Amino acid sequence: MQDPEMAVMAVRIILLPVVLTLVFLPSQVRKIFSDLDYGSFAASVAPRLAEIETEFRAGRARLEEEAAQRGGPYRAEEVEALLGTAEEQVLATLEPQELAPLRDSIRLRFRHIRQKLASVEPARSSGFAFASFQPAQSSPGLLSPHLAETLFDEARAVLQRVVKLAGESRFSLRLCVVSRPDAGATFRMRPPEYREGVKSGETVLDLPDAALGRYFYKVEPRKRKLQPIQCGWESGGEDDSCLDLWDSFGDQLFECDFSKGKRGCKLHDLPPGGCPAS
């Protein structure tokens, strides 16, 4: 006689073959998404992302109250902990491998915030620490209210952006890639954290479901006399945003020009009518 629990598990796997596969490890169940429906997934995680943003605002209010009780300064370790928790929770929510570009965009922005936090070294002069606007006798473990609020504002802007995208069920867009004057160049792009996630093709290239976020890319012309155009593809720089669809509000055109004096790639809104001829 078949175990009832095994029967239920088999039914679930049969019913959901496209959405996810369950891989059982010794201590966890891991979701592996295949052929991700970006819109449906965005809608499904919208409540959780909104909850994370609400928790961040509550944590910020708590630190503001504690700072006011101390007379102004914030504890750097508490600020860093709040930022780190928010980032970690958002990245964990955006778990499918197809969303690697979006996670990369979020990581980049939080990394810039942490760099500002780490770079604070009060310069003492005439009794004041001008770099952080703190009295010279303040501990280096304290941050000025102005700096702390700036970091909080930047982090909240990231959270609000991803909440908005999820609420609009918009984790992907249409991306059209053209090359001039060498039509038919080979274009490749991949998210920094996921080397296997390569999208490629010859220009004009129409990608109807490109995940929002950050990519490294390389454009190789058919004409050998022209050098490839690339960003991050070889070097993999952490702070090089390259092609970043984070702020894109609609379908996009990525135009790569090999012409002398114009060499490079630029992102534009996709014009009416779809992908233009190269």
pLDDT at 33: 41
Residues 55 and 100 in one domain: yes
DSSP codes, 235-255: T--TT--BEE-TT--S-EEEE
Query: Which one-letter amino acid corresponds to residue 46?
Result: A
Q: Which residue has the higher pLDDT, 59 or 120?
A: 59
What residue ranges in 34-147 does DSSP mark as E strands?
A: 74-75, 124-125, 128-129, 134-135, 142-143
pLDDT at 162: 98
How much is the mean pLDDT over the chain?
Answer: 82
Q: Give a yes or no: residue 275 inside a domain.
A: no
In this prediction, residues 183-188 reach a mean pLDDT of 94
Residues 101 and 129 in one domain: yes
Residues 235 and 181 in one domain: yes
Distance in angstroms between the alpha carbons of the first and the last residue of the chain: 65
pLDDT at 154: 98
Q: Give a yes or no: residue 277 inside a domain.
A: no
Q: Which residue has the higher pLDDT, 239 or 222?
A: 222
Residues 91 and 192 in one domain: no
Residues 124 and 68 in one domain: yes
142 Cβ contact list (under 8 Å, min separation 6): 73, 74, 75, 76, 134
Residue 7 has pLDDT above 50, yes or no: no
Q: Give a yes or no: residue 278 inside a domain.
A: no
Tokens of 49: 């992302």
In this prediction, residues 102-126 reach a mean pLDDT of 78
Count of domains observed in the chain:
3
Residues 42 and 140 in one domain: yes
pLDDT at 74: 93
Task: Kindly list the distances between the CA atom of residue 224 and the CA atoms of 4, 185, 230, 239, 267, in Å, as whole numbers in the listed order.
Answer: 64, 11, 15, 30, 25
Please choose, from the candidates 185, 171, 198, 195, the residue with its C-alpha nearest in 3D space to the C-alpha of residue 255: 185
Residues spanned by the domain of 25: 4-33
Please choose, from the candidates 242, 244, 264, 246, the residue with its C-alpha nearest in 3D space to the C-alpha of residue 255: 264
Residues 157 and 124 in one domain: yes
The mean-pLDDT minimum among 14-23, 57-66, 97-106, 166-175 falls in 14-23
pLDDT at 139: 53
Q: Which residue has the tokens 């996670």?
A: 103
Please give the backbone phi and psi of residue 150, each rounded to the nearest 5 degrees, phi first: -65, -45
pLDDT at 72: 80
Domain boundary among 137, 167, 197: 167
Q: Which residue has the higher pLDDT, 136 or 192?
A: 192
Q: Give a yes or no: residue 274 inside a domain.
A: no
Domain boundary among 146, 167, 188: 167
Residue 127 has pLDDT above 50, yes or no: no
pLDDT at 235: 75
Q: Which residue has the higher pLDDT, 277 or 115?
A: 115
Q: Give a yes or no: residue 117 inside a domain.
A: yes
pLDDT at 15: 36
Give the CA dihedral 46, 48, 54, 55, nearest 10 degrees. Answer: -160
Please choose, from the candidates 227, 116, 119, the residue with its C-alpha nearest in 3D space to the C-alpha of residue 182: 227
pTM: 0.79
Domain boundary among 121, 150, 167: 167
pLDDT at 239: 65
pLDDT at 194: 84
What's the CATH number where 212 sits?
2.60.40
Residue 64 has pLDDT above 80, yes or no: yes
| Bond preceding residue 204 cis, omega within 30 of 0 | yes
